[in-house]
Every structure is written in C-alpha cells, then in structure tokens.
C-alpha cells in the first residue's frame, strides 16, 4: 500500500516539476508523458511473453529497489543545473522505466 502511495506522489509531482520548475513547453511535456505510456505498453508486452515468476515476492522487492535507484538518479539529475535537453532525456527515461517497472512487479 505504501508503494502505491509513493507512485501516486511521483505521478502527481513529476508533472509539477516539469511544468513549474523546469518550464517545459507543452510539446516537450507531451512527449515525456507519451514515453510514460510507451513504457506501460512495453511492460504489458513483456508480461505477456515471459514465463511465470518462481519467487514473486523477491521479484517485487527487486523491482522496488530498482525504482528507488531510478528515483535517486532523477533527484541527482534535478540537483545540478544542466541544459534542458538533459532534463528532457532524463525525465523521459525515468517515465519509461518507472512505468515499465511499476507494471512489471
């Protein structure tokens, strides 16, 4: 339950950071959100073709740790003043992998 709450914070907070703090244009914001959907579709395809998981609790724990690492990397990215292109690429990658990993566990 706590994990779903944290993912809810990310889904609400990341658009705020993109629009209010990083000042992404509508096109760039739409692109990063579209990549979020691509990650969801990729995880659905991956889940449909893979074998069943032998230890599902361990798999979930592993995916949650990977999400923590992704969040840490996103925080590191936002801590430094970089060109907007790096922010777009970093947030797009975070959106893809966070959706992919969220559905995968």
**What would the pLDDT profile of 37-84 be if each residue is shown by its tens digit?**
888 888 788 777 777 777 778 877 887 788 888 888 888 888 888 888
CA triplet 9, 13, 18: central angle to 5 degrees?
155
At 101 the pLDDT is 65
At 104 the pLDDT is 53
Say how many Å lie between the first and final Cα of the chain, rounded: 13
Q: Is 70 within 8 Å of 94 (Cβ atoms)?
A: yes
At 100 the pLDDT is 65
| pTM of the full structure | 0.72
pLDDT band for position 105 (cuts 50, 70, 90): low
d(C-alpha 47, C-alpha 44), whole Å = 5
């Amino acid at each position: 339950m706590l994990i779903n709450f944290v993912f809810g914070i990310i889904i609400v907070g990341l658009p705020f950071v993109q629009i209010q703090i990083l000042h992404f244009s509508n096109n760039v914001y739409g692109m990063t959100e579209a990549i979020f959907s691509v990650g969801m579709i990729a995880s659905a395809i991956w889940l449909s073709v893979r074998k069943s998981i032998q230890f599902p609790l361990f798999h979930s724990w592993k995916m949650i740790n990977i999400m923590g690492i992704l969040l840490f990397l996103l925080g590191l990215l936002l801590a430094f003043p970089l060109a907007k292109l790096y922010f777009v690429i970093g947030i797009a990658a975070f959106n893809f992998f966070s959706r992919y990993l969220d559905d995968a566990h």
